[in-house]
């Protein structure tokens, strides 16, 4: 049942409820009373038309696209610099201590391995005099090494074949194989290869 208060709405009360009515917020009964009042009251009818017009006018106002220069300025200011990227990477790495240490170790090893190698790629620059002196020194060094090698070879030959350094070994082998043809327990014969054969082979 409709309340007496709603039935007796004044123009001021109706106009105060116009927005709620237009928004559809009023209950059916109250909305019906307002509608009936507005139909027979020119002042409230004019107010309702004005409210409708304002609402339609506001809703007809355009939205605005953001100018490209604003979007570009935003992009420019939100694109991280190289330094910021590096800091971000370090922050991300050091947020996890164990992988961080592994990463640092890998970087250090990489630097130790690669940087000297890369540096050696650069050809050194020597003068012609330096190159010639280095060549002479190299010849002298090679001649010295060759001389030492020859002296060492002669010394070894003398020890082995002339001083009989191998006779003890030969005796041991001969005894094991009974190669000398002597009976077991007999004194083995010292075998020395003929001197002239070895000298002729050198």
Partner 1 sequence: MRMERDVFDAAVKIHSRRVFTLAVYLLGEREEAEDVTQEVLIRLWRKGHEVDPERIGPWLTRVTRNAAIDIIRRRKPGVRAVMDPGDGSTDPPEGSPGPERLAQSSQLGSRLLAALHTMSEPQRSVVILREIQGLSYREIGDALEMPLSTVRVSLHRGRRRLREELREVRHDVAAC
Residues within the interface to partner 1 (CB under 8 A)? 19-20, 47, 50-51, 53-55, 57-67, 69-71, 73-74, 77-78, 80
- Please name the residue that has the structure tokens 């109706």: 14
* Minimum CB distance to partner 1 smaller for 84 or for 130: 84
Q: CB 33 → partner 1: shortest distance, Å?
A: 19
Structure tokens of 114?
Answer: 């690669």
* Minimum CB distance to partner 1 smaller for 10 or for 155: 10
* Minimum CB distance to partner 1 smaller for 86 or for 145: 86
Q: Which DSSP string corresponds to 73-130?
A: HHHHHHSPPHHHHHHHHHHHHHTSHHHHHHHHHHHHHHHHHHHHHHHHTSPP---HHH
* Minimum CB distance to partner 1 smaller for 87 or for 195: 87
Q: CB 100 → partner 1: shortest distance, Å?
A: 17
Q: CB 32 → partner 1: shortest distance, Å?
A: 21
Distance separating alpha carbons of residues 81 and 12, to the nearest angstrom: 63
Q: CB 59 → partner 1: shortest distance, Å?
A: 6
Nearest to 26 by CA among 10, 38, 14: 14
């Amino acid at each position: 049942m409709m309340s007496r208060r709603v039935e007796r709405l004044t123009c001021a009360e109706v106009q105060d409820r116009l927005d709620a009515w237009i928004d559809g917020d009023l209950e059916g009964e109250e909305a019906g009373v307002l509608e009936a009042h507005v139909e027979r009251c020119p002042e409230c009818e004019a107010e309702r038309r004005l409210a409708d017009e304002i609402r339609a006018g506001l809703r007809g106002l355009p939205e605005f696209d953001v100018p490209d220069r604003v979007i570009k300025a935003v992009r420019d200011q939100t694109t991280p610099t190289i330094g910021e990227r590096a800091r971000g990477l370090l922050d991300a790495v050091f947020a996890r201590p164990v992988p961080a240490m592994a990463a640092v170790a890998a970087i250090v090893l990489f630097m130790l391995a690669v940087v000297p190698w890369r540096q050696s790629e650069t050809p050194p620059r020597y003068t012609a005099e330096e190159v010639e002196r280095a060549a002479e020194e190299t010849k002298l060094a090679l001649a010295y090494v060759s001389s030492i090698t020859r002296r060492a070879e002669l010394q070894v030959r003398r020890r082995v074949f002339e001083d009989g350094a191998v006779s003890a070994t030969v005796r041991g082998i001969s005894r094991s194989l009974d190669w000398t043809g002597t009976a077991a327990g007999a004194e083995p014969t010292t075998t020395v290869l003929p001197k002239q054969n070895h000298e002729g082979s050198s």
